[in-house]
Amino acid sequence: MALLASVFVVAACGLLYELAAGALASWLLGDSVLQFSTVIGVYLFALGVGSYLSRFVERQLVATFLRVELLVGLVGGLMPAALFVAHNLLHDTATLVPFRVLLYAMVMLVGTLVGIEIPLVMRILKAHFRSRWQLGELVSQVLTFDYLGALAVAVAFPLLLLPHLGLIRTGVVFGLMNAAVAAWALWLFRAELRNVRAHAVACLAVVGALCAAALAADGLTTWAEDRFYGERIVHAASSDYQRVVVTAGASGGVRLFLNSNLQFDSRDEYRYHEALVHPAMAAQGAPKRIAILGGGDGMALREVLKYPSVEHITLVELDPHINSLFAREPVLRRLNGDAFASPKVKVVNTDAFTWLEGHDEVFDVIVIDFPDPSNFSLGKLYTTSFYALVDRHLSASGYAVVQTTSPLVARRSFWTVVATVEAVGLIATPYHAHVPSFGEWGFVIASRRPWRQPQELPAGLRFLTVAGLPALLQFPPDMERVPAEANRLSNQVLVQVFEDEWGRVHH
């Protein structure tokens, strides 16, 4: 029974390393669907390679199993730390090809070693417990514990391990579990092993290396992120959905990064949020009910609250860690004007697509402030299906406004969003503004009636003026409209177009 328990541990550890590699790749490289898909594919292929190689192990099964366990524990346990460090050492290079090579090489190595484990366990069980189990029963028992281990870690990884231990320490803990299986096998089969002392020293060395990594996890993460972001980190945490980092520069500027992507810089965020909110809000006339989709930092909320006519605001943010952080920390509360404390505000932590599908509430203005469509999970929020839902929730005189990436750097992406809005029968009014942290940035107003320029704006704005609004709607030749296909849930062409355009800039 103890050997079957080891199968549970082996399976749990193997899947954990796969999930850790996929999560880290999605944080550092973007496009979570692509990264998880390729990591899982390489890992499953490696399992097959390992299973095939196990047939060549004919003697010293227990000794081989013990060595494989130690290697899996060492390589798999240290893989998140190694990849984290490698990315931060290589991110200044011309491309991320060396990092990708290392990523898939480590996934291939761990997968191959894990693929060797289960066949070895079966053969050890068959050799030592032949009288107890027939072959069919043995295979059934081993696979049952294998799948149970995989299920346990699949549930625990996003809900318990990642939020509470972090990625590096989680890898180390499971590496120690592999080492514990090796130590147990050493004790159980000590009578038939050669060089017991050498195996014991190897176990101690692996455990020592992993314990050292556990102790250094926080310092390593801090060093790597300090080097990557180049500023003092005032908050860093892994939520259930993303890596959240807030930095503070020497000049006092505060920046928010989600999965290494800049979301705002306090030195110029007012330009972005004034441009996002006020052309739609002021044009509506006297907006009362507002929905903000995304925008968990409260900056768009701050601008919406400048309108006395507003009676109720529903802010829908997927990640509760974001709005909790910006409602709690004094520095961040000052940035958003303590907007979350307003009695007019209701926060809903759920997926915006699901939320729109689930009720029939109508709004005068809908502010859509999602991250760029860098993966399919975000891309669905830029589709005809999503904008049709937005249309259903707009009042007859209402306006929706969408942040829409850079019309200069990602020209086709920008006009793809415009084409998508128009494909659901809404009138699209594209415009742009210069935000130094991002460069030239684009927005689209969607409505059933033509957008009309407002005659006044709230007092105290730092960027927008009534006289300056017409200039935002003018697109020079290098940003003017190009042919673009509507982004549909069934094809998500925008994600590929976005990756192509921004990929040329990053690489």
Half-sphere exposure in the Cβ direction for 451 (13 Å, CA): 25
Of 324, 182, 338, 179, nearest to 240 by C-alpha is 324
Q: According to the model, what pLDDT value does residue 207 have?
A: 93
Do both 214 and 280 map to the same domain?
no
How far, in Å, CA of 407 to CA of 478, rounded?
9
| Residue 500 annotated as catalytic | no
Give the length of the chain: 507
Residue type, 44: L
Reduce the secondary structure of 16-79 to three states and give it as a string: HHHHHHHHHHHHHHCCHHHHHHHHHHHHHHHHHHHHHHHHHCCCCHHHHHHHHHHHHHHHHHHH
Q: According to the model, what pLDDT value does residue 149 have?
A: 84
Do both 459 and 391 map to the same domain?
yes
Domain that holds residue 424: 268-506
- Within-domain flag for 356: yes
Q: Strands 289-294 and 363-369: what pairing?
A: parallel
Of 195, 181, 174, 180, nearest to 63 by C-alpha is 195
Q: According to the model, what pLDDT value does residue 86 have?
A: 82
Half-sphere exposure in the Cβ direction for 89 (13 Å, CA): 10
Do both 349 and 452 map to the same domain?
yes
How far, in Å, CA of 159 to CA of 325, rounded?
19
- Within-domain flag for 77: yes
Q: How many CB atoms lie within 10 A of CB 462?
A: 8
Helix (H/G/I), strand (E/B), else coil: 457? coil
How far, in Å, CA of 316 to CA of 366, rounded?
11
Q: What is the CATH number of the domain that holds 34?
A: 1.20.1250
Q: In which element (H, E) is residue 350 found?
A: none
The residue out of 159, 191, 219 marking a domain boundary is: 219
Burial of 201 (0-12, 13-18, 19+ CB in 10 A): exposed
> Which stretches within 309-439 are classed as H helix?
320-328, 330-335, 352-357, 376-379, 384-392, 411-423
Listed in sequence order, the residues at least 6 apart from 469 whose beta carbon sits closer than 8 Å to its beta carbon are 279, 453, 454
Q: According to the model, what pLDDT value does residue 411 have?
A: 95
Q: Strands 363-369 and 394-403: what pairing?
A: parallel
Do both 210 and 302 map to the same domain?
no
Q: According to the model, what pLDDT value does residue 94 have?
A: 47
Do both 83 and 210 map to the same domain?
yes
Q: In which element (H, E) is residue 461 found?
A: none
- Within-domain flag for 446: yes
pTM, entire model: 0.73
- Within-domain flag for 243: no
Burial of 109 (0-12, 13-18, 19+ CB in 10 A): middle
Do both 200 and 54 map to the same domain?
yes
The residue out of 186, 219, 252 marking a domain boundary is: 219
- Within-domain flag for 461: yes
The residue out of 161, 192, 219 marking a domain boundary is: 219
Do both 284 and 394 map to the same domain?
yes
How far, in Å, CA of 442 to CA of 431, rounded?
6
Q: According to the model, what pLDDT value does residue 241 have?
A: 77
Q: According to the model, what pLDDT value does residue 95 have?
A: 57
Do both 495 and 355 map to the same domain?
yes
Q: Which residue has the tokens 């030195």?
A: 267
Do both 211 and 345 map to the same domain?
no
The b-or-e profile of 152-180 (16+ CB within 10 A means b, else e) is: bbeeebeeebbeebbbbbbbbbbbbbbbb
Residue type, 368: I
- Within-domain flag for 247: no
- Within-domain flag for 251: no
Q: In which element (H, E) is residue 444 found?
A: strand 439-447
Do both 60 and 180 map to the same domain?
yes
Judged by phi (left if over 0) then psi (alpha if -120 to 50, else beta), residue 295 lies in left
Burial of 105 (0-12, 13-18, 19+ CB in 10 A): exposed
- Within-domain flag for 25: yes
Contact at 8 Å (CB) between 145 and 3? no
Q: According to the model, what pLDDT value does residue 135 have?
A: 56
Q: What is the CATH number of the domain that holds 438?
A: 3.40.50.150
Which of 31, 364, 369, 372 is flagged as catalytic?
369
Helix (H/G/I), strand (E/B), else coil: 258? strand
Do both 276 and 215 map to the same domain?
no
- Per-residue pLDDT in tens (0 to 9) along the chain, 507 residues: 566 677 788 888 888 998 888 888 877 776 667 788 889 899 999 999 999 999 888 888 888 989 999 999 999 999 988 888 887 776 555 456 788 888 999 999 999 999 998 888 878 877 766 545 565 666 677 778 778 888 888 888 877 887 778 788 889 999 999 999 899 888 888 887 888 889 899 999 999 999 988 888 777 777 766 666 777 888 888 777 777 888 887 777 888 888 777 888 998 999 999 999 999 999 998 999 999 999 999 999 999 999 999 999 999 999 999 999 999 999 899 999 999 999 999 999 999 999 999 888 999 999 999 988 887 888 899 999 999 999 999 999 999 999 999 999 999 999 999 999 999 999 999 999 999 988 999 999 999 999 999 999 999 999 999 999 999 999 999 999 999 999 998 888 998 899 888 876 544
Number of domains in the chain: 2
Do both 290 and 424 map to the same domain?
yes
Q: Using alpha carbons, list the distances in angstroms from residue 316 to 40, 270, 301, 348, 415.
A: 32, 21, 11, 5, 26
